[in-house]
């Protein structure tokens, strides 16, 4: 067991929660409040733009539960752009917290609760999530290079399952890239980093830092319009980018800097296929359905799940990235 450090309970902390992890009661306004949360923080397992992710053990109720906790600092005094960026992220998470804890799908990381701890000069938002042992799809691609076509199909089917579930609820993921897909040791995929998800009828502008990190996987309409003019079909473009990345071992727009990607998207161009990669007719048809410039011409996740290209032979099993 990794080294763990006890985290002190924090009284009167607001939280949205999934049953079984934390005990909460509703106050007069209907918001969830928590009297005390007991959890033990372990080793760091990830770091992003807005905070660190730790392995942790929830010991509040019943049987101890292994979880992942993303800790995000949000200064109470906004002194510079960095402070403002952190505050915007926390606000974004608070805005979608109820939406996230209601999600329940085998190919989406479960959000278990959101806890706010107040200090003298800042507050810390703890985001409790299902712990997935393994690595991110992006890390595997950087380490191992391109995958076999069957492995790429296997992962694509799972990602589509998660997207179909989100889209049936009119939720746009908006952050679909290889580094946001977690893989366990058995090859099971889970979509993570959903804090920037939004409902189709409540689209808000993405933070600039998120656009920078995700732009090569973003659909043209998201980059060009930001606040309006796009729907769940934006995620289908991103899916096409991930499939292309798995088949080629190169990130989308592998030769271009961010500004050039934006220019080319405004020229109605799509991510190029490296000259040393030859895709089958079925693979090209699938890519065309993902990369239609007009979002209305892109197929839905549920339709793409049934595409002939993704059919695997009977009895096929994941046995490694080149299997």
Distance CA 114, CA 92 (A): 12
The CB density around residue 271, as the number of other CB atoms within 10 Å, is: 24
DSSP for residue 71? E
* Furthest CA-CA distance within the chain: 63
289, 270 Cβ separation under 8 angstroms: no
* CA dist 61 → 40, 126, 147 (Å): 13, 18, 42
State pLDDT tens for residues 40-65.
Answer: 999 999 887 777 899 999 887 778 88
Query: What are 129's strand-pairing partners?
Result: 68, 111
What's the pLDDT score for residue 271? 97
Mean pLDDT of all residues in 81-104: 78
Percent of the chain at pLDDT exceeding 70: 78
- Rounded Cα–Cα distance for residues 74 and 85 (Å): 9
Which residues, listed in sequence order, are joined to residue 41 by a DSSP beta bridge? 5, 56
DSSP 204-243: -PPPHHHHHHHGGGS-HHHHHHTTSS--THHHHHHHHHHH
Confidence of residue 272 (pLDDT cuts 50, 70, 90): very high
The percent of the chain in helix, strand and coil, each rounded to the nearest 5, is 35, 20, 40
What is the token pair recorded at 138? Answer: 């992006």
Please report, for the chain, how many H helices and E strands are present, in that order.
Answer: 9, 14
Eight-class DSSP state of 267? T
Contacts by 217-225, CB closer than 8 A, 24 or more apart: 217/176, 217/177, 217/178, 217/241, 217/242, 217/252, 219/295, 220/265, 220/266, 220/268, 220/293, 221/295, 222/174, 223/262, 223/265, 224/265, 224/266
Residues annotated within the binding site for ATP are 70
Angstrom CA distances, 21 to 74, 114, 189, stand at 24, 11, 23
Q: How far apart are CA 172 and CA 181, in angstroms?
A: 15
Q: DSSP readout, 135-177?
A: EEHHHHHHHH-SPPHHHHHHHHHHHHHHHHHHHHTTEE----S
8 A C-beta contact, residue 67 and residue 56: yes
Distances (CA, A) of 96 to 47, 179, 194: 21, 21, 9
| Contact in structure between 283 and 247 (CB atoms under 8 Å) | yes
Distances (CA, A) of 320 to 140, 174, 302: 11, 29, 26
CA distance 272 to 301: 22
The DSSP secondary-structure symbol of 98 reads H
pLDDT at residue 16, rounded to an integer: 46
Binding residues: 70
- The CATH class of the 134-310 domain is mainly alpha
Mean pLDDT over each residue of the chain, to the nearest integer: 83
Share of the chain above pLDDT 90, in %: 55
SS3 label, residue 260: helix
Query: What are the sequence ranges of the domains in the chain?
Result: 5-130, 134-310
Residue 14 has pLDDT above 70, yes or no: no
Residue 100 has, within 13 A of its CA and on its CB side, a CA count of 28
pLDDT in tens, 179-230: 999 999 899 999 999 988 888 877 766 654 556 678 999 999 988 765 456 8
pLDDT (tens digit per residue) in 112-153: 888 887 766 667 888 899 999 989 999 999 999 999 999 999
pLDDT for 10: 38
The predicted model gives 276-286 an average pLDDT of 96
CATH class of 5-130: alpha beta
């Amino acid at each position: 067991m990794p080294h763990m450090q006890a985290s002190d309970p924090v009284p009167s902390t607001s939280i949205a929660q999934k049953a079984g992890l934390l005990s909460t009661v509703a106050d007069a306004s209907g918001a969830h409040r928590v009297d005390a949360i007991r959890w033990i923080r372990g080793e760091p397992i990830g770091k992003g733009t807005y905070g660190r992710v730790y392995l942790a053990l929830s010991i509040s109720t019943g049987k101890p539960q292994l979880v992942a906790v993303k800790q995000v600092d949000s200064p109470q005094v906004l002194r510079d752009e960095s402070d403002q960026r952190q505050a915007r992220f926390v606000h974004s998470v608070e805005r979608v917290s109820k939406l996230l804890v209601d999600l329940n799908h085998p190919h989406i990381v479960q959000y278990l609760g959101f806890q706010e701890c107040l200090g003298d000069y800042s507050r810390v938002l703890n985001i409790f999530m299902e712990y997935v042992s393994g690595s991110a799809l992006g890390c595997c691609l950087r380490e191992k290079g391109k995958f076999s076509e069957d492995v790429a199909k296997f992962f694509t089917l799972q990602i589509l399952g998660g997207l179909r579930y989100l889209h049936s609820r009119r939720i746009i993921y908006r952050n679909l890239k290889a580094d946001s897909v977690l893989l366990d040791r058995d090859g099971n995929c889970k979509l993570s980093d959903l804090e920037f998800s939004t409902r189709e009828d409540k689209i808000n502008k993405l933070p600039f830092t998120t656009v920078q990190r995700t732009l090569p996987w973003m659909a043209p309409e998201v980059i060009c319009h930001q606040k309006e003019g796009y729907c769940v079909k934006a995620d289908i473009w991103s899916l096409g980018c991930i499939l292309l990345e798995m088949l080629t071992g190169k990130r989308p727009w592998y030769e271009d800097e961010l500004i050039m990607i934006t220019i080319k998207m405004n020229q109605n161009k799509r991510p190029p296929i490296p000259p040393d990669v030859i895709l089958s007719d079925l693979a090209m048809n699938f890519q065309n359905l993902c990369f239609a410039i007009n979002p209305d011409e892109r197929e839905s996740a549920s339709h793409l799940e049934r595409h002939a290209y993704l059919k695997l032979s009977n009895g096929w099993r994941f046995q490694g990235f080149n299997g």
